[in-house]
Structures are given as C-alpha cells and as structure tokens.
C-alpha cells in the first residue's frame, strides 16, 4: 500500500512537471520595463553613505527569462553598490544570469559612498548607469547623486585607539574643543558660508572664547552630536534676512542626512548646550531643527538675545532653559515631544511677538511650560523673577498648551499681555484666571484659531481672517517681523506680519 502511494505521488509530480515550462528560461530580448529611467540619490556629503534607493524591474512577457548580466557601467570601480533580489553579486557591482519569471518583477536596491573628487568638477554630480544585458539587447538606467564638499570636524583618535572626550554634566562624551589655529581647518571658531560643516561628537567652545557663525553658514550634526558652549564662553549667530525661500542668509543647524526623507524627523542629533557662565550670547536669524533639544540653556548670568529665529521638530524640547535669562523677539517654535518652550527652575524671561506652537502627536505636550522648581536639584527651587509674554501666540493640537508649575518656596512672577492662548479647561486654579486676574493677564484671546498658513510645513504666517490679526498692543511692538517686514498698527500677534495667501 505504501509503495502504491509513493508511485502515485511520483506520477503526479512527473505529470505536473511535464506540462510546466517555467523551469526553463529564455534569453532576455531587451524588453525589460523599469519603475524609473533615472534613479536620483539625494545629495550626500563626501564619504558619507547615502540612504538606500529602489528600482523595480518588470518582465511583462509570457516567458521566464535569464538576464545574462546586470552590472554598473563603471564596474568594480563604481562608487555605487547594489543588491539584486537580495543577492550581493560581485561586490555589489556585477550580477550574472539573473532569472526573472514571466509577468514578474525584481527589486534592485542602490546606495553610494563617494568623495567630492569622484564628482564632475563643474556640477559636483556623480553618475553611473545600471546596465541590463549587452549588445543589441542593452538597456540602461541612469544613477545620479550630488556630492557636497564640507568641512569635517570630529574628535581625534588617542594613541590607545580611543576617541577624544570632553566632559558634559560630569560625564565623558565623544567630543573635542574648537581651535583658533587648527593645522587643517585654520580658525574653527569662525563658521563661514564658504562650505557646510559636518560635526561628529560634541564640538566644544573653550572657556573665555567666542564662536561666531556668519550669515549663510550651514552646520550639520551627525547622530549623537552637538555644540557645547563651555563656562564663560560666548555664542554669536549672525544670520540676516533672506530674500528667497532658500534662506541664503539664515544660519541653519540640522542633521547630516540631506535626503528629503530626513527633512523633518526629530531627534537626529543632540543639542546646543549653553553652560552656566557669564559669557555673552546673541542669536539672530537661526533655523534649528530635528534635534533632541534645540537650545539647552543652564544658569546663564547674562541675558541671551534670541531674535528672528525658527526651531522645528524636537524629540524633547525646542528651547529648554534652567534658571536662564532670555530676551526673545520674533521666535517661532513648533513640534516637540515635551515642550516647545520650557522655562524651568526659575530665571528671567521676556518674549515679544513670538509664535509658540506644538502639534506633537500625543496628549501630554505643551507649547509653553513655566516653572520655578526642578526635581532632584539642590535647591529644588529658584526664583522666577520674570516671565513676560507680549503680543504672542501660544497654540497647538493639545487641549491645553500653556502650563504653569508654581512652587510656593520661591518667587513666581509672570505676565501675559495681548496673547492668543489655547487653554480649554475651566480650571479653578488661581494661576489660570485669564479674564479675572489683571495682575497676570490682560487682553487674552482664548481658544480662537489663529489660522496658520500650513502647520505641517512649519508655515506660521497668518492673514486677515486670523483671530490674531491686529490684536497686538502698540506698546510692545517689535517694528519688523521675522522676515523683516514692517509691522502695521495695531500689530498682529505672533512672529509674522499678516499677508494674503495665494489662492
């Protein structure tokens, strides 16, 4: 009986195999179809690997085919590398006798790591082609990548093979101190617009030194990297108004992945830390985005001037200040996992014509958080001598976007004048009596939509239909907005002078 069933199964397999043709292939005839004729790999810095890009190859014929060769035109010397349906081939460059079934497709994944010297010197493009077959059946798909030259700043390697370290919060972290007389880069304390900068680890500003950023400077931070302004050091960011959407005069801090996929992902790098000290700081026309925390300010003795600047997409905070001193004008902060602006452990703060928004996708964030205490600190409280918000917008996707955390053991002085505020709770807390507490609140607009132009694209312009239109107090006016446009009287709330949007 067992022998009978074995013979029966063998017969079925034999019969099935005899009527199938897909175990045999025919040679490719050059009729492959592709998901694109050119694969553009987004801009990369020299010698930094790109993201992985995809090409799909289709066999629309009725025959299973064999493609004799799939290869990069530049062969083994190509700076591109591929996998073809999961196969590595010869160093990711050459693949032979690739089978593609009838009415089926295969995936090719492409990456590159190239130097600026590999690129065309006139346009800085590095190119190659993926070749399918040869001779009369040759088909090609172009590969194009823009290679960007940069100044690379990174920790040195010690003789024992370990990386150079600096101390932050009492801990050794990968980092180095910028030098005025570096043998390769010259004055590393002056960032110009000639080339972008890429920083690995924490770049430290030594005590009693000043780091300056010229208008148009571009600084890119690798993962777990940042800028550390040490005790008594100073930070000067000297951006200016730009004439175009390219922000040619803005100073920009962001991650080192230039692909569009990474354009608005939080947490790609660490932070700019301004340590407790008496240095002088001025920040003008800075765009800072995609960090864990944008500015991390600690116990500053002098007031930090932050003007005409934008902070977007943070895993934790846009600006976190612990017992700091800030004068902020024409600031825009959006999208942070904890708070767009968090002023804790006391301090002294004055903000005028600022837009604090938070559209983070959870219910526990704030646009603005103010406190005079800090858990675990010694002492646990510090006096909040001033927290003033004039002609500001405090808004977002949460039910309440404004939070006060008052400890009775230290001063807690705050005042909001002519502000649009998102706070939907009918709280009996005496700190939130917006209509009946003139000592802390005057002319507060509650829960009305400011009608930002496009929050998802960080466009916080308003028009005449906004609840913030012409609701400001002339006594607190900053004469020009974040774009350098003259404000009208009475002024609009927030960082932008209103304008009509394109239909």
User: Is position 448 within any domain?
Assistant: yes
423 and 371 fall within a common domain: yes
232 and 357 fall within a common domain: yes
Q: Are 331 and 450 in contact (CB under 8 A)?
A: no
Backbone region of residue 13 per phi and psi (left: phi > 0; alpha: psi in -120 to 50; beta: other values): alpha
Grouping H, G, I as helix, E, B as strand and the rest as coil, residue 361 is coil
Q: Are 339 and 362 in contact (CB under 8 A)?
A: no
Domain count along the chain: 2
Backbone region of residue 60 per phi and psi (left: phi > 0; alpha: psi in -120 to 50; beta: other values): alpha
Under 8 Å CB-to-CB from 5, ≥6 apart: which residues? none
Condensed to tens digits (0 to 9), the pLDDT of residues 369-417 reads 999 999 888 889 999 999 999 999 999 999 999 999 999 999 999 999 9
Condensed to tens digits (0 to 9), the pLDDT of residues 173-209 reads 999 999 999 998 999 999 999 999 999 999 999 999 9
52 and 180 fall within a common domain: no
The size of the chain, in residues, is 503
Please give the DSSP secondary-structure letter assigned to residue 412.
Answer: B
User: Is position 165 within any domain?
Assistant: yes
Mean pLDDT over all residues of the chain? 92
Q: Are 221 and 255 in contact (CB under 8 A)?
A: yes
64 and 81 fall within a common domain: yes
Q: Are 199 and 222 in contact (CB under 8 A)?
A: yes
139 and 163 fall within a common domain: no
The alpha-carbon radius of gyration of the chain (Å, integer) is: 29
* Exposure class string for 394-433: b at 16+ Cβ within 10 A, else e: bbbbbebbbbbebbeebebebebbbbbbbbeeeeeeebbe
The parent domain of residue 35 ranges over 26-148
Q: CB 27: neighbour CB atoms within 10 A? A: 12
74 and 175 fall within a common domain: no
Give the C-alpha distances (Å, rounded to integers) separating 172 from 162, 202, 409.
Answer: 12, 11, 35
Residue with the bigger pLDDT between 49 and 216: it is 216
Does residue 16 register a pLDDT over 70?
no
- What is the helix (H) or strand (E) element at residue 141, kind and residue range? strand 139-148
- Give the mean pLDDT of 293-298: 97
- Using pLDDT thresholds of 50, 70 and 90, give the confidence band for residue 259: confident
Which of residues 148, 179, 210 is at a domain's end? 148
**Which tokens hold the place of 222?**
């690798």
**Which tokens hold the place of 470?**
């012409």
The predicted pLDDT at position 261 comes to 85
Does residue 77 register a pLDDT over 60?
yes
Which of residues 124, 148, 172 is at a domain's end? 148
- Using pLDDT thresholds of 50, 70 and 90, give the confidence band for residue 503: low
Q: CB 247: neighbour CB atoms within 10 A? A: 17
- Give the mean pLDDT of 468-482: 98
165 and 293 fall within a common domain: yes
The alpha carbon of residue 366 and the mean position of all alpha carbons in its chain are separated, in whole angstroms, by: 20
168 and 242 fall within a common domain: yes
Distance separating alpha carbons of residues 335 and 318, to the nearest angstrom: 8
360 and 422 fall within a common domain: yes
Distance separating alpha carbons of residues 164 and 147, to the nearest angstrom: 28
Distance separating alpha carbons of residues 215 and 193, to the nearest angstrom: 7
The predicted pLDDT at position 4 comes to 44
Give the C-alpha distances (Å, rounded to integers) separating 89 from 30, 55, 93, 95, 124.
Answer: 21, 16, 7, 5, 29
Distance separating alpha carbons of residues 228 and 88, to the nearest angstrom: 42
135 and 170 fall within a common domain: no
């Amino acid at each position: 009986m067992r022998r009978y069933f074995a013979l029966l199964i063998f017969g079925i397999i034999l019969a099935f195999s005899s009527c199938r043709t897909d175990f045999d292939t025919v040679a490719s005839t050059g009729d492959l179809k592709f998901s694109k004729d050119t694969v553009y790999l987004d801009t990369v810095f020299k010698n930094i690997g790109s993201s992985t890009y995809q090409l799909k190859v289709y066999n629309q014929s009725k025959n299973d085919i064999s493609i004799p060769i799939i290869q990069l035109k530049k062969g083994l010397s190509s700076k591109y590398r591929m996998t073809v349906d999961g196969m590595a081939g010869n160093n990711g460059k050459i693949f032979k006798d690739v089978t593609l079934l009838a009415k089926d497709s295969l995936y090719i994944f492409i990456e590159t790591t190239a130097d600026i010297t590999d690129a065309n010197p006139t346009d800085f493009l590095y190119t190659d082609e993926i070749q399918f077959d040869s001779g009369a059946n040759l088909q090609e798909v172009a590969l194009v990548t823009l290679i960007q030259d940069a100044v690379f700043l990174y920790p040195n390697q010690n003789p024992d093979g370990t990386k150079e370290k600096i101390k932050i919060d009492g801990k050794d972290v990968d980092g180095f101190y910028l030098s005025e007389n570096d043998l390769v880069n010259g004055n590393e304390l002056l960032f110009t617009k000639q080339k972008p900068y890429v920083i690995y680890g924490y770049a430290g500003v030594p005590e009693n030194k000043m780091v300056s950023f010229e208008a148009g400077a571009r600084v890119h931070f690798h993962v777990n990297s940042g800028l550390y302004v040490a005790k008594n050091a100073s930070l000067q960011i000297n951006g200016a108004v730009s004439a175009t959407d390219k922000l040619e005069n803005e100073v920009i801090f962001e991650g080192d992945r230039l692909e569009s996929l990474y354009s608005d992902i939080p947490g790609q790098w660490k932070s700019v830390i301004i340590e407790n000290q008496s240095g002088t700081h001025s920040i003008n026309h800075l765009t800072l985005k995609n960090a864990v925390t944008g500015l991390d300010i600690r116990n500053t003795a002098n007031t930090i001037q932050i003007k005409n600047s934008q902070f977007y997409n943070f895993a934790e905070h846009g600006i976190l200040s612990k017992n700091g001193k800030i004068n902020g004008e024409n600031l825009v902060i959006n999208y942070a996992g904890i708070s767009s602006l968090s002023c804790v452990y006391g301090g002294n703060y004055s903000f005028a014509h600022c837009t604090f928004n938070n559209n983070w996708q959870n219910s526990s964030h704030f646009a603005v958080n103010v406190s005079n205490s800090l858990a675990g600190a010694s002492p646990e409280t510090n006096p909040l001598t001033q927290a003033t918000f004039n002609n500001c917008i405090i808004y977002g996707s949460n039910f309440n976007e404004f939070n006060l955390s008052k400890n009775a053991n230290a001063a807690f002085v705050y005042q909001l004048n002519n502000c649009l505020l998102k706070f939907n709770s009918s709280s009996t807390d005496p700190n939130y009596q917006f209509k009946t507490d003139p000592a802390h609140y005057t002319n507060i607009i509650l829960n009305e939509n400011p009608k930002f132009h496009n929050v998802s694209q960080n466009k916080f312009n308003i028009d005449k239909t906004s609840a913030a239109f012409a609701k400001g107090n002339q006594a607190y006016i900053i004469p020009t907005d974040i774009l350098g446009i003259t404000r009208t009287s009475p002024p609009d709330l927030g960082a932008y002078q209103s304008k009509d949007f394109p239909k």
